[in-house]
Amino acid sequence: MRFLFTCGGTAGHINPALGVAQRLMQLHPDSQVLFVGAAGRMEESLVPREGFPLETVEITNISRSLSLDGLRHNLNTVKNVLTATSAAKKIIEEFEPDVAIGTGGYVCYPVLRAAHAKGIPTLIHESNAEPGLTTKMLSRTADKILVGLEESRSLYPKPERVEVTGTPVRAGFGAANKLQARAALGLDGGKSLVVSVWGSLGSQFMNDTMADLIEIAAATEPFSLIHSAGRGGYAAFAKKLAGRGLTDLLSRGFDVREYIYDMAPVCSAADIVVCRAGASTLAELAALGKPAVLIPSPNVTNNHQEKNARVFEKAGAAIVIPETAVTASSLLGKIDSLLSKPERLESMGRQMKKMGALDATGNIAETAMKLASRKNHKNGSNA
């Protein structure tokens, strides 16, 4: 079988696709997988890193600004959609996929649109509680619409066509072991571990907050910390710390990274994860049963991260703090308070685990295989 995946822009769109692709290759080692992403985006590094081939097309987002610049940007986006659709058709003609699977990002629209026009079965998965613009547009023609949360079903015009599968996670999250992960990371057995991660590109506001938090915490070293500053913020973050004389932090239990590639063992080793509320991140935390302090990004379409976060807060799996209410001292106080209440952390962990689908990755892989088999059966019948 030949599986074509399209996703892009952020790790939250890319990682679910990688998880499903890995599962499909486990089930059918003789299959072929091809990813199609957006040129210049992080899929160009994440996808090849996992051993999958990647083709790219030129695509841009939609500006919601009513300014002249916003209008020009959107006119350029329309042009890019047309050229990207044409490029995607050529890729599809050469690869001849049995099914096309989209997991988010603007690149999904031209690729799945091209696949549908070529008679290829299409599947779109939406991880967020509220569907994005791309998913809404593709839901009109997609053969299958899959969502991560039950609460999402009613937001589609034809709920009966929507299947709740959960959100897939990459290989490693289901089998992670806390004690083994801590040992592998060389952590002091007596210290709690806090993991701080703010998206693949990072967040300037949260990096500034975490720099202040590290400066305060460095005086007493109350816990170990692994902080991901993001590709867009690491250099500035390191410079800020150095300017405050905060050097040799690793020996004091503070590990600052550009990006956490080994996310499964790192989060498995954690006692608390402090992070955004992207759907993919939440799915990974649920797979691990990991308590979280969620600070949703205010800079996303339709405020979808806060909507995601509130679902988990309502279940008792996480604490939600709006970014406008966050300071270094208040966040440190919240972390210290939770670490001093192991029974509460255990309860949050149990509730977080309940939020995860039993096998979202397998659910989506099975749906993809059924669609691929349908196409092969149809072609065989017409032969």
Write the pLDDT tens digit of every residue in 127-149: 887 787 888 888 888 999 999 88
Residues 103 and 223 reside in one and the same domain: no
Please check the confidence at residue 200 and state whether its pLDDT lies above 80.
no
Please indicate, yes or no, if residue 173 is contained in any of the structural domains.
no
**90-104, 274-288, 361-375 — which one is most confidently predicted on average?**
90-104
Please indicate, yes or no, if residue 296 is contained in any of the structural domains.
yes
Residues 260 and 113 reside in one and the same domain: no
Which CATH number covers residue 111? 3.40.50.2000
Amino acid at 317: A
**28-32, 139-143, 157-161 — which one is most confidently predicted on average?**
28-32
Please indicate, yes or no, if residue 172 is contained in any of the structural domains.
no
Mean pLDDT throughout 316-328? 96
What's the pTM value of the predicted model, to 2 decimals?
Answer: 0.73
Host domain of residue 283: 178-354
Residues 243 and 288 reside in one and the same domain: yes
Residues 326 and 362 reside in one and the same domain: no
Please check the confidence at residue 383 and state whether its pLDDT lies above 50.
no
Q: What is the pLDDT of residue 175?
A: 65
pLDDT category at 303 given cuts 50, 70, 90 is: confident
Residues 18 and 139 reside in one and the same domain: yes
Mean pLDDT throughout 286-290? 91
Residues 155 and 237 reside in one and the same domain: no
Q: What is the pLDDT of residue 156?
A: 83
Please check the confidence at residue 382 and state whether its pLDDT lies above 50.
no
Residues 373 and 329 reside in one and the same domain: no
Nearest to 167 by CA among 371, 357, 369: 357
Please check the confidence at residue 381 and state whether its pLDDT lies above 50.
no
Residues 194 and 145 reside in one and the same domain: no
Query: What total number of domains does the chain contain?
Result: 2
Q: Which long-range contacts (CB under 8 A, 24 or more apart) does 256-260 make?
A: 256/214, 256/227, 256/229, 257/226, 257/227, 257/228, 257/229, 258/228, 258/229, 258/230, 258/231, 258/234, 259/200, 259/228, 259/230, 259/231, 259/234, 260/195, 260/197, 260/226, 260/228
Residues 53 and 115 reside in one and the same domain: yes
Q: What is the pLDDT of residue 292?
A: 97
Q: Tens of pLDDT along 44-101? A: 989 999 999 999 998 866 666 677 777 776 677 678 678 889 999 999 999 999 999 9
Mean pLDDT throughout 350-371? 89
180 against 52, higher pLDDT: 52
Please check the confidence at residue 4 and state whether its pLDDT lies above 90.
yes
